[in-house]
């Protein structure tokens, strides 16, 4: 009898599709442990586990693939070893490194990407890469007993960036829904976030379930943002809308070109700040003819002419943004 016998009894279940699928699991922490376990047990053909972190004692209350003896070992490697014991009929690859260090071809090989990342910047980076590669992304986050799941199908559903941007000082609260509850959260962004096993299991379960449904084209996909509050057992599904001028997936951005007006006497650092606000970027670097412009450089008619093309690079962009210079008409 097949190890998959019980799931094969589900109407529409397609084990061959799962066997032929490759899924990248970004982050093998609390959510990632449960995501990777579910995908392993279900028989997804190839899993790529990415996490740069090592196991810490404080992970052990919820990251159930790890034991005390695993402390200081790479999460991706320990997880891969444990998962192979659960199912040796699938291929599991571990990559104990940053998402940014992985070759694009690895992402291109995947049918879908799941993410349980604790850093807001990493989520934004992965989102823009997935949009760029046109790869589906199921992502989620947690804060204590609250969690969310978002299903991103590039150019079809809103991407992570279509939502209102969260100010820097609220990064640690990025997992919480918009509204009242944020006020009760701690003010210090550097404090570790509260996290429990039960919520990790529920949110990780929903992420992996959406992933399996996507691979087998089973059921109704999450459309497109789910918020869960474990304290009240409330599940809310919100249909976020795409933003036409989203810097990552909007039509405006898909042109990969926009104009920006400059004035003589403006510093490059000030232009950089304006660009950061306009496009929701972190610390844009401005490149002209292959050279990064010095922040202290003062703009004049010679160094930035009407029609000059500048390229903007930023940690939140998977590829540079092209801007055409317009001169202020006096």
Residue among 113 and 159 whose Cβ is closer to Zn ion = 159
Decide: 275 and 314 in contact? Cβ < 8 Å. Answer: no
Q: How far is the CB of 103 from Zn ion (least distance, A)?
A: 24
Is 246 an interacting residue with respect to Zn ion (CB under 5 A)?
A: yes
Choices 111-119, 191-199, 242-250, 298-306; region in contact with Zn ion by CB under 5 A:
242-250
Residue 149 pairs with which residues in a beta bridge? 140, 226
Among 161, 210, 229, 314, binds Zn ion (CB under 5 A): 161
Smallest gap from residue 236 Cβ to Zn ion (A): 21
Closest C-alpha among 249, 220, 222, 202 to residue 150: 222
**Catalytic residue chosen out of the listed positions 175, 211, 246, 249:** 175
* Binding region for Zn ion (CB under 5 A) out of 5-13, 161-169, 194-202, 263-271: 161-169
Distance of alpha carbon 324 from alpha carbon 90, whole angstroms:
49
- Dist CA 175 CA 171 (whole Å): 9
Residue 38 or 127 with smaller CB distance to Zn ion = 127
Q: How far apart are CA 51 and CA 95, in angstroms?
A: 7
Q: Does 318 help bind Zn ion (rule: CB under 5 A)?
A: no
Determine the length of the chain.
330
Which tokens is 170 given? Answer: 């609220």
- Per-residue string for binding with Zn ion, 34-63, x by CB under 5 A? ------------------------------
User: Of residues 47, 249, 275, 304, which one binds Zn ion by CB under 5 A?
Assistant: 249
State how far the Cα of 51 lies from the Cα of 234, in Å rounded to an integer.
31
Contact stretch for Zn ion (CB under 5 A) within 19-27, 70-78, 83-91, 154-162: 154-162
What is the residue-wise DSSP string for 36-79?
Answer: HHHHHHHT-SEEEEE---B--GGGTTT-TT--GGGTTSBHHHHH
Contact in structure between 128 and 316 (CB atoms under 8 Å): yes
Active site residue 175: yes
CB of 160 to Zn ion, least distance (A): 7
Kindly list the strands in the beta sheet with 234-238, ordered across the sheet, starting from the edge strand earlier in the chain: 91-95, 46-50, 22-26, 112-115, 137-143, 146-152, 225-229, 234-238
Q: Report if residue 162 touches Zn ion, rule: CB under 5 A.
A: yes
Task: Please report where in the chains the tokens 């199908």 appear, as a residue.
Answer: 153
| CB of 249 or CB of 262, closer to Zn ion | 249
Q: Is 137 an interacting residue with respect to Zn ion (CB under 5 A)?
A: no
> Of 19-27, 244-252, 265-273, 275-283, which part binds Zn ion (CB under 5 A)?
244-252
Question: In this complex, which beta carbon is closest to Zn ion, that of residue 29 or of residue 158?
Answer: 158
Q: Are residues 325 and 263 in contact, defined by beta-carbon separation less than 8 angstroms?
A: no
321 contributes a contact to Zn ion by CB under 5 A: no
Q: What are phi and psi of 77, to 5 degrees?
A: -75, -45
Looking at beta carbons only, is 159 or 211 nearer to Zn ion? 159
Among 18, 149, 248, 318, binds Zn ion (CB under 5 A): 248
* Residue nearer to Zn ion on the CB measure, 122 or 202: 122
For Zn ion, the binding residue among 126, 159, 216, 268 (CB under 5 A) is 159
Which are the catalytic amino acids?
175
| Residue ranges that bind Zn ion, judged by CB under 5 A | 159, 161-162, 246, 248-249
């Amino acid at each position: 009898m097949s190890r998959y016998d019980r799931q094969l009894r589900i109407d529409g279940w397609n084990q061959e599709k799962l066997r032929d699928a490759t899924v990248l699991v970004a982050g093998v922490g609390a959510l990632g442990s449960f995501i990777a376990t579910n995908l392993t047990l279900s028989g997804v053909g190839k899993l790529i586990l990415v996490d740069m972190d090592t196991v810490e004692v404080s992970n052990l209350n919820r990251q159930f693939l790890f034991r005390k003896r695993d402390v200081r070992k790479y999460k991706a490697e320990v997880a891969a070893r444990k998962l192979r014991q659960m199912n040796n009929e699938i291929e599991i690859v571990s990559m104990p490194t940053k998402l940014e260090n992985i070759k694009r071809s690895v992402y291109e090989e995947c049918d879908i990407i799941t993410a349980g990342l604790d850093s807001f910047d990493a989520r934004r980076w992965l989102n823009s890469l997935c949009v760029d590669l046109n790869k589906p992304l199921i992502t989620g986050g947690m804060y204590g007993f609250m969690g969310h799941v978002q299903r991103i199908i590039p150019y079809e559903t809103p991407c992570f960036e279509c939502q209102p941007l969260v100010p820097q000082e609220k990064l640690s609260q990025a997992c919480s829904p918009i509204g009242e509850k944020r006020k009760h959260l701690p003010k210090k962004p550097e404090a570790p976030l509260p996290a429990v096993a039960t919520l990790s299991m529920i949110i990780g379960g929903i992420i992996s379930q959406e992933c399996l449904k996507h691979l087998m084209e089973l059921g109704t996909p999450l459309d497109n943002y789910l918020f869960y509050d474990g304290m009240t057992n409330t599940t809310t599904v919100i249909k976020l809308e795409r933003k036409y001028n989203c810097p990552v997936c909007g039509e405006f951005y898909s042109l990969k070109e926009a104009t920006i007006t400059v004035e003589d006497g403006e510093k490059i650092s000030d232009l950089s700040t304006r660009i950061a606000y306009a496009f929701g970027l972190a610390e844009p670097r401005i490149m002209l003819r292959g050279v990064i412009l010095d922040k202290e450089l003062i703009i004049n008619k010679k160094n930035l002419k009407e029609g000059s093309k500048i390229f903007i690079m930023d940690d939140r962009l998977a590829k540079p943004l092209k801007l055409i210079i317009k001169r202020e008409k006096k």
